[in-house]
A and B are shown apart, each in its own frame.
Chain A
Amino acid sequence: MPKEMASFTVNGKPYELIIEPQMTLLDVLRNQLGLMGTKYACGTGDCGACTVLVAEKPVLSCLTLAATVKGEEILTIEGLADGNNLHPIQQAFVDAGAVQCGFCTPGMILTTKALLDENPDPTPEDVQAGLGGNLCRCTGYVKIVDAVLAAAETLRRR
């Protein structure tokens, strides 16, 4: 397979990486950068667990070829907190009981970030529409909606 050098900005840091054409963004994040917070759960774009933000927009990293996001700014779950201080969305998920097994959580939180960046004052229906592509098998989603609304309020007050 032809390999190429590619540059990415991940969580604010620049990287030069050797990538192959078949590599997905998920492969690169997990296997080359060791950013294991991005999860493989379906590989077919049906569950949202692998969501990361590319240029601030949510992207399914399992379906995104790394070669197509060369030069982009990528945010993964590891880049959201300020050191050990949780981002208000992360804190809201913890406080509301919106995290059970945690496997959908990174994708859920990054999708929430994109949602709240665009709509800082969502209704519960907006939250449902915004997170409609992120599956969770544990929580029944009730506390996830609570968490997103609480995070929105905290962020608006900042």
Chain B
Amino acid sequence: MKKETAIVGQRIPRPDTPAKTMGMAEYAADIKLPGLLVGRILRSPYPHANIKSIDTSKAKQLPGVAAVITFADVPQTLFNRSSMAEAFPPPILAGEVQDEYVLSDKARFVGDWIAAAAATDIYTAEKALDLIDVEYEVLPAVFDPVAAMQPGAPVIHAGKERNIAATMEYPFNCGDVEKGFKEADYIVEGFFSTSSQKMCQLEPDAAVACWYPGGRVTVWSPNENPHLAKRVFAKVLNIPDGLVRWITPAVGGGFGGRLSFGVEFICAALAKATGKPVRVECTREEDFIGHDSRTAEYQTMKMGVKKDGVITAIEHRIISDSGAYYSHSGSTTGVNLIHTLGLLRCANIYGIAQIVYTNTPVGGGFRGYGNPEGAFAIQQLIDEAAEKIGMDPLEFRLKNAREAGEPSCWAPIALESCNLEQCIRLGAERIGWREKRGLKKKGQVRRGLGMSIMTHASGAGGFLLEHSNAIIKLNEDGSANLIVSPCEMGQGILGALSQIAAEALGLRYEDIHVVTGDTDVTLFDIGSHASRSVYVIGNAVVEAARDVKRQVLERAAKKLAVSVNELDIQAARVFVKADAEKWVSVSEIAREAIYNFTLTGAHISAIGSFQSDNWCPNFQAAFAEVEVNMETGEVKVIKFVVAHDIGRAINPLNVEGQIEGGVVQGIGFALYEDFVVDKNTGNTITDSFANYKIPSILDIPEIEVILVEEPVPSGPFGAKGVGESGLVNIAPAIANAIYDAVGVRICSLPMTPEKILMALNA
């Protein structure tokens, strides 16, 4: 049952948005500092090359140039560009492979960083890059992971034979799949490829850095894990953590792209070399080529099923294309295995993955972090299996999906709650599943329905370092500063945490002033990713609020001459529950605590800490209605119905916004977004919005979001996560709808008209 709340559950506008509509939000590229220089980066024109020599003398002599740096000027410490690397406990994923230098004497993809220059203006900095003489020894390159795994393929990282960076097994392999397949009445299998979708956050990567007397460095960066980023940054620079101050300005979208370091290290190296603040702002082309995209995965999946719908075995083998550096490619692949194989009941499971280097731009973690890739495979096989045994795929899913009390996708943790069944039933009703699906089709344009289900973590306790802290201090006027360190990249977390704080304190929404984005001020937090922030940080906020509220009540009890138990706080008033006429304002209590002449003063404040041991997965069912043109192969998405098990929506307006945004990104992933690298030269062909299409406002279908709200006991006011989920089901739901419409199964993303026509004509 939902508890009555005054602020939680309201569709309240977010605190960060008025300034954003006025152009007042300050993003990294907007920061101005006295003496600010601008930096530009020289990038390799070759996919694989050693630097034989590099001469920067002419560039350094150009008037206006303050510094030119190469690998000789930066620490040669190996690291992984994932800022989350420190949050992984080593026994589980063997850590993230450390295979990158800030600048190196070897280029491993076209666009790899070779050198950088800082100058008074961008034109001079670019001219300086032209004056750097680099002599390359061009090496043979490999662009395809299967080719890269062959004996004799060019070795991209010394010591990694056949370019296999890592091999990982699903941590919860169980039973005996061979036995399971023997018990099956039918076996379905397929090969599924998913593309390197590009984040395309509207703000290109940018950072500012400045060193101050005394040896401290401040970095302004859109990274979404500020405290973790600070830690890795200090390690690579070999300086104490306390010398690094990490500031998060406004962030223009993330979607996983901010989980990795971008230009921060180069920016800091240029700032150190010049003794001046330096800003590096990437062009869109540089953002496309030089920064992570979704890790492309090649999956072979096999499922055994009995006539009654029991799944007897699942085997899942993945080859992931890491690109030139490991980044998040391993962890996203692991997260694929965990969510994909942890969704359904099955006694015999085997999953294994290999992460393979190629001379291509780097594979990272995009929203959903492996889960959409796995869903594209298993949700299609589910439909195939259901068809083989003559069962409605909806019933097949209901029969096999794990339920509350059973293991969650992180098997040692039991599912605390699961409202997937309700999501499936409500969504099916709204899309018209019974009436419209499986009809005989004719004509040039044919309609079809498809569905997909998913589970996704709300943070990953027991797997990641799930540690958050919040500070609340009560001001003299009864307003409160909420000091937290998520990363507001657009998802609305500052609003959600403010609503939680106001509700838990008994204050009004406008009484909460959020302070964030500065590691000198905020307490440790692992940041915003894994759909964790509302669940984990929200719980820390509740803890802090409980303590502050106790302090207020104790002072009010003395003032009103009643016991603490008789009091509560609502709308910024402390009142006697039995006699609401008897009250004192929170502002009076707060002011008298600070301006206190009886030596019993205090600045009412508290720290709340939360360390999650739970994944508290959220669930979702999505239903697509599509039209397929038999002559052109074009797919038009008509409608999506998405039912999400949110526990409790802290702000339904924002939850809808997260899901709608995910659906539309998912449509791009499903139908047209494809990061293309020329297989002869290694050049990235899709390096602009003109040749890499993301959905526009003209491409959106009708989207209906249904929020299934049954509060989960461990969540703040019952909330679970939502950030990534909207994207996961979209491609498989569309694939299944295409099959329903025209009877062909497309197992390669994006599902372009060409692929559909080829399948129709096969």
Contacts and interface: CB of A to CB of B under 8 A. Distances in A.
Interface of A: 22, 34-44, 46-47, 49, 76-78, 80-81, 86, 90-91, 93-95, 97, 99-106, 109, 127-129, 131-145
B666 to A, nearest CB: 9
A110 to B, nearest CB: 10
A37 B24 contact: yes
Interface stretch (B322-330, B603-611, B686-694): B686-694
B201 interface: yes
A61 B21 CA distance: 18
B721 interface: no
A42 B688 contact: yes
B689 A42 contact: yes
Contacts of A109: 21
B665 A137 contact: yes
Which DSSP category, helix, strand, loop or mixed, fits chain A's interface? loop
A127 B539 CA distance: 40
A101 B32 CA distance: 21
Nearest to A81: B22
A37 B13 contact: no
B406 interface: no
B97 interface: no
B27 interface: yes
Nearest to B654: A97
A101 B490 CA distance: 3
A132 B25 contact: no
Given A49-B202, A137-B202, A86 B21 contact: yes
A81 B21 CA distance: 9
A99 to B, nearest CB: 4
Contacts of B29: 40
Interface in B658-712: 660-665, 688-690, 694-698, 700, 703
B697 A138 contact: no
A46 B696 contact: no
Which DSSP category, helix, strand, loop or mixed, fits chain B's interface? loop
Given A44-B690, A97-B13, 11 more contacts: A22-B123, A36-B26, A43-B284, A80-B22, A128-B697, A128-B698, A135-B202, A136-B202, A139-B660, A140-B700, A144-B697
B283 A43 contact: yes
Contact of A101 (B202, B662, B663, B694): B202
Contacts of B14: 94, 97, 99
Interface of B: 11, 13-14, 16-18, 20-27, 29-30, 32, 123, 199-204, 250-255, 281, 283-284, 489-492, 653-654, 656-657, 660-665, 688-690, 694-698, 700, 703
Given A77-B23, A102-B250, A46 B700 contact: no
A100 B490 CA distance: 4
B353 to A, nearest CB: 28
Contacts of B656: 97, 142-143
A42 B123 CA distance: 18
Contact of B23 (A37, A43, A139): A37
Q: Interface centre among A77, A86, A131, A136, by most B CB within 10 Å?
A: A136
28 contacts: A37-B23, A40-B29, A42-B688, A44-B689, A44-B690, A47-B689, A77-B21, A78-B23, A90-B22, A97-B656, A99-B17, A100-B490, A101-B203, A101-B489, A101-B490, A102-B252, A103-B27, A109-B21, A128-B698, A131-B697, A132-B698, A136-B202, A137-B253, A138-B661, A140-B660, A140-B695, A141-B696, A142-B660
Q: Interface centre among A43, A81, A138, A139, by most B CB within 10 Å?
A: A138
B703 A140 contact: yes
A139 B661 contact: yes
Contact of B490 (A43, A91, A102): A102
A107 to B, nearest CB: 9
A141 B665 CA distance: 11
Contacts of B123: 22
Given A97-B654, A135-B694, A142-B700, A78 B22 contact: yes
B688 A132 contact: no
A102 B251 CA distance: 8
Contacts of A76: 23
B425 to A, nearest CB: 24
A47 to B, nearest CB: 5
Nearest to A142: B660
A41 B661 contact: no
Contact of A86 (B18, B281, B695): B18
Contacts of A47: 202, 689
B498 to A, nearest CB: 15
A86 B284 CA distance: 31
A42 B11 CA distance: 33
A46 B255 contact: no
A115 to B, nearest CB: 12
A36 B698 contact: no
B260 to A, nearest CB: 17
Nearest to B252: A103
Given A94-B18, A137-B253, A101 B700 contact: no
A103 B202 contact: yes
Contacts of A41: 202-204, 252, 284
A90 B18 contact: yes
A137 B666 CA distance: 11
Contacts of A97: 11, 13-14, 653-654, 656-657
Contacts of A91: 21
Nearest to B662: A140
Given A102-B250, A140-B660, A145-B697, A39 B21 contact: no
A40 B17 contact: no
A131 B696 CA distance: 9
A143 B660 contact: yes
B20 A39 contact: no
Contacts of B696: 132-135, 141
Q: Interface centre among A78, A100, A103, by most B CB within 10 Å?
A: A100
A40 B205 CA distance: 11
Nearest to B254: A101
B636 to A, nearest CB: 14
